């Protein structure tokens, strides 16, 4: 498969257990910033659900807080929905739609993902390639 432009590997599919979610801190080039100004933090959550992957910006639509109230805790106690740890809003894993809580009817901001050669890649954003990576990867596919 030909790699689409602006496809960046975030992790391997095998790095996320089935029916689990994992957060990543990336650096995105701000489209409105001067060239060479570096990146801005771009926090995302990726869910592996059976044979599919779903990705969202890690930001609750209620008050723009991160979903994980504890590092890596994205799912409700039953493990079936994404949950905002701050306000308890519940989101459908496949659609990102809020199904219960203070932002009922709102939606998480989706990411366009593709699985390329076993890597989960984010598409349609420009990441800061030469930024220092943290413990997660943000390299181009």
- Reported as a single tens digit per residue, the pLDDT across 30-79 is 766 665 666 889 999 999 999 999 999 999 999 888 999 788 899 999 99
| Polymer length of the chain | 141
Give bridge partners of residue 127 from the DSSP assignment: 28
Q: Give, as one character, the DSSP assignment of residue 34.
A: P
Please, how many CA atoms are within 13 Å of residue 69, restricted to the half-sphere of its CB? 10
CATH of domain 17-111: 2.102.10.10
67 burial (CB, 10 Å; 0-12 / 13-18 / 19+) is buried
pTM for the full predicted model: 0.84
Give bridge partners of residue 139 from the DSSP assignment: 9
Which strands form 112-116's sheet, in the order they lie side by side? 112-116, 119-123, 7-12, 139-140
- pLDDT tens across 2-32, in order? 666 689 999 999 999 999 999 999 999 876 6
| pLDDT of 138 higher than 80 | no
């Amino acid at each position: 498969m030909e790699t689409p432009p602006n496809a960046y590997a975030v992790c391997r599919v095998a790095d996320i257990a089935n029916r689990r979610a994992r957060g990543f801190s990336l650096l995105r080039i701000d489209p409105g910033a001067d060239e060479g100004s570096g990146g801005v933090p771009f926090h995302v959550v990726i869910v592996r659900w059976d044979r599919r992957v779903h990705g969202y910006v890690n930001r609750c639509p209620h008050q723009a807080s991160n979903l994980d109230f504890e590092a890596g805790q994205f799912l409700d106690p039953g493990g079936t929905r994404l949950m905002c740890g701050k306000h308890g809003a519940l989101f459908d894993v496949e659609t990102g739609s809020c199904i219960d809580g203070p932002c009922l009817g709102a939606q998480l901001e989706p990411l366009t993902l593709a699985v390329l050669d076993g890597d989960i890649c984010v598409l349609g954003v420009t990441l800061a390639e030469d930024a220092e990576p943290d413990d997660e990867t943000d390299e181009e596919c």
